[in-house]
Amino acid sequence: MGERRTERPSDGTLRGDQRSGGVIPCLEWPSAVVVRRPCALRHAAGSGQALGAGRARRQRLSQSVLSRRIKEVERRLRVQLFDRTTRQLDITAAGHAFLLMTGAVLDDMDMRLSRFMSYVAAQSGTIAVAALPSLAAAVLPDMMRDFMLDHPEVEFEIIDGAADEVVERLEGGTVELGVTAHGYLPDGFCFTPLLRERFYGVAHHSHPWSVQSSISWADFNGDTVVATRPGTSIRAITDAAFGKHSISVSHHFNACSAATIRGLLRAGVGVAALPAFEVRGFGLDDLVAVPVDSPGATRVIGVVYRCYQDLSPVAACFLDFMHATEINPPRGVRQA
């Protein structure tokens, strides 16, 4: 049995195996033709339906260009699709069959190519973002609204979670961007700061803090702190501050959600140290929020992404947009 080999001639067409010292050519599959010459096929189909130069003029093609494209399709398919005269094209039986069998394929190809080119131009696609819940509620909505004014076909997938969950999503590749606090990041990830939040001491209105204009980390000493669970950005900052200043607090309550913390504070069971965007989500009708005036009483938030891996075009465009956007910060927040 002869040695099997594959040759690639100058026109790029794959040929078959070698037998008896010669190469037996084999036809390209139509799918390969469609992928490589979709425009030629579309114009050939359109020309067959319109029979000639009128269609070409409407598509702004010269008759010679149209003729060459049709010949290219016929050469690749090895069948005559049109009978030519000096004045018109007459479609053959094979041409009718070609249009019948490929019309839907060509329409689908046109649609998919159009969608792909829109994706490449960052005009469409899905942006998957993981964000801290407070930032997903307070920072992202305005940014996404403004971005979609110029990118109306873009879709957003927003996944909210704590800081460790945001990193987990980024590592797992289920999101391209993370909006979170500055902190631990695995190798290969970059952080770009956007905003800096001030911390507040939050307590029931009957607490002594209600008559103070500001407090320090030392004012938490000996108190019961309603804390977020370990692994959150808030817990990392408060634990570091309390440890640095040798502040002893009681952690009887560790909560995952802002709603739970708010309920515990309203019940008067303790106090909390929370950054500005978290406080903004509280209804402070029966609570007080007093600025913490101490070193380290801030949280820097920004965007996390892989440093050495290209983002999708639309995600890269949104990242640039976030960097360029001037945010109107609420109380206790400033540009980083």
| Range(s) of the domain holding residue 173 | 124-193+301-335
| 10 occurs within a structural domain | no
| 7 occurs within a structural domain | no
CATH code (residue 57): 1.10.10.10
User: Are 185 and 146 in a shared domain?
Assistant: yes
pLDDT digits (tens, 9 = 90+) for 265-276: 999 999 999 999
| 6 occurs within a structural domain | no
Using a CB cutoff of 8 Å and minimum separation of 24, what contacts does 90-94 make?
90/51, 91/48, 91/51
More confident residue, 77 or 317: 317
pLDDT at 35 over 50: no
More confident residue, 47 or 89: 89
User: Are 149 and 217 in a shared domain?
Assistant: no
User: Are 323 and 189 in a shared domain?
Assistant: yes
State pTM to two decimals. 0.65
- According to the model, what pLDDT value does residue 62 have? 62
Instruction: Identify the weakest region by mean pLDDT among 5-9, 100-104, 108-112, 117-121.
Output: 5-9
User: Are 97 and 219 in a shared domain?
Assistant: no
| 3 occurs within a structural domain | no
Please compute, for residue 167, the number of CA atoms within 13 A of its CA located in the half-sphere on the CB side.
16
User: Are 311 and 171 in a shared domain?
Assistant: yes
User: Are 175 and 305 in a shared domain?
Assistant: yes
- According to the model, what pLDDT value does residue 117 have? 62
| 12 occurs within a structural domain | no
Q: End of a domain among 120, 154, 176? A: 120
pLDDT digits (tens, 9 = 90+) for 132-191: 998 999 899 999 999 999 888 888 999 999 999 999 999 999 999 999 999 888 899 999
Beta carbons of 113 and 66 less than 8 angstroms apart: no
Q: Please list, in sequence order, all residues whose beta carbon lies within 8 angstroms of the beta carbon of residue 229, skipping any fewer than 6 positions away.
A: 162, 235, 254, 255, 256
Backbone angles phi, psi at 229, to 5 degrees: -70, 155
User: Are 162 and 310 in a shared domain?
Assistant: yes
User: Are 74 and 113 in a shared domain?
Assistant: yes
| 154 occurs within a structural domain | yes
| 165 occurs within a structural domain | yes
pLDDT digits (tens, 9 = 90+) for 189-206: 999 999 999 999 999 999
| 5 occurs within a structural domain | no
CATH code (residue 142): 3.40.190.10
- According to the model, what pLDDT value does residue 110 have? 66
User: Are 283 and 209 in a shared domain?
Assistant: yes
Q: End of a domain among 120, 136, 162? A: 120
pLDDT at 109 over 80: no
Q: End of a domain among 85, 120, 155? A: 120
Q: How many folded domains does the chain comprise?
A: 3
Tokens 């515990």: give the residue: 264
What is the rounded average pLDDT of the residues 14-35?
38
